[in-house]
Structures are given as structure tokens and as C-alpha cells.
Amino acid sequence: MTEETETNARGPMDIRRVMAALPHRYPMLLIDRVESMVLNQSIHAIKAVSVNEPFFQGHFPTRPIMPGVLIVEAMAQAAGVLAVESMQLADSGKLVYFMSIDGAKFRSPVEPGCLLDLHVEVTQNRGAICKFAGKAMIAGKLVAEAQFVAMISDPPKD
């Protein structure tokens, strides 16, 4: 680890700090904690997948599987925490918006009882617009991946 990386290393972050970085709340908050983060570079976050999640009531009731789109959303929320923390915008009201999703691949179902490890890296940073590469893993096994672009912006005016 370089001196710059050590200086920019953060973590762990509990749910209160995650909620300070993200506007999402139940049932759409999909990050339970941050294990580690290197500002402007990468984040490792956790989603504890519980059978009590509301989407399991309909997807699929006899064999509950976390929808792929929500796995990608969890990766994007991890990226949002990374961006907000890197830019010191927690509690600022700024929002992180999806702009695009590319190369999403789903390799294994995610079922209740799993700890979903979310690993996201910044691949390009242009100030308010960043590109990310995300991987979702369970017990070291890749279950999903995607590249995506997000933008930091003020919330819409009423």
C-alpha cells in the first residue's frame, strides 16, 4: 500500500454513516455496511440478504432470488458512498444519479441468507461524472458484475 493509499483509506462504516452518504431508505437502501474504502479508488461494501426483503414476496415465492437489477443497484449505491465520501459531500443533499449501465452479467442466483460482497472501483473520474466497475461476490465467488456511469448533482427543485 502506498503512502497516498494509506492516507485515503477509510472504513469500516456502520449503517449510520452509510445513511449520511446516501438518501436511500428502507426498502431501497441496499448497503448494510462498508468494510473498507480507498477514497477516489475503491470500496468494499456488504449487503446482508434477508428472506424478509419485500421483493422476495414476488420474486419468486417458492424459490426466492434477489432480482439482478437490485444487485446492480446495490453496486451503484456502494459507488455512491465512495463518490460522496471522496468528495466530502455527506449530509450535503447532493444526489448520485445513474447515467448508464454496461456489460451487466449475472452468474449465480443470490438467495436469502447470503452476505453479498460488493467491490466497486473507479475506472474514470471527471469531477461530477465517474465511471465504475462493480463485482458482487458471495464467499469469494463472482455472482454479478457491471460497469456503470454516475453523476453527482443537486436534487431537483420543487
User: What is the residue-averaged pLDDT of the chain?
Assistant: 93
The residues, any chain, with a CB within 8 Å of residue 145's CB and separated by 6 or more, are 103, 104, 105, 107, 133, 134, 135, 136
pLDDT of residue 90: 86
Task: Check residue 6 and give its pLDDT.
Answer: 59
Above pLDDT 70, what percent of the chain?
96
Residue range 115-123: mean pLDDT, rounded:
98
Structural domain includes residue 90? yes
Contact 112, 64 (CB under 8 A): yes
Mean pLDDT across 98-116: 97
Quick check: 24 pLDDT over 90?
A: yes
Q: Is residue 148 part of a domain?
A: yes
Res 29: pLDDT: 97
Q: What is the mean pLDDT of residues 9-14?
A: 87
Instruction: Give the integer Cα–Cα distance in Å for 31 and 20.
Output: 12
pLDDT at 79 (0 to 100): 97
DSSP output for 34-88: EEEEETTTEEEEEEE--TT-GGGGTS-TTS----HHHHHHHHHHHHHHHHHHHTT
Residue type, 13: M
Does residue 158 lie in a domain region?
Answer: no
- The reported pLDDT for the residue numbered 4 is 55
Domain that holds residue 76: 3-153
pLDDT tens digit sequence for 58-106: 988 899 999 999 999 999 999 999 999 999 988 888 889 999 999 999 9
- 103 part of a folded domain: yes
| pLDDT higher than 60, residue 57 | yes
8 pLDDT band (50/70/90 cuts)? confident
Active centre residues (catalytic)? 59
Number of domains in the chain: 1
What CATH number corresponds to the domain at position 118? Answer: 3.10.129.10
5: helix, coil or strand?
helix
Distance CA 148, CA 124 (A): 11
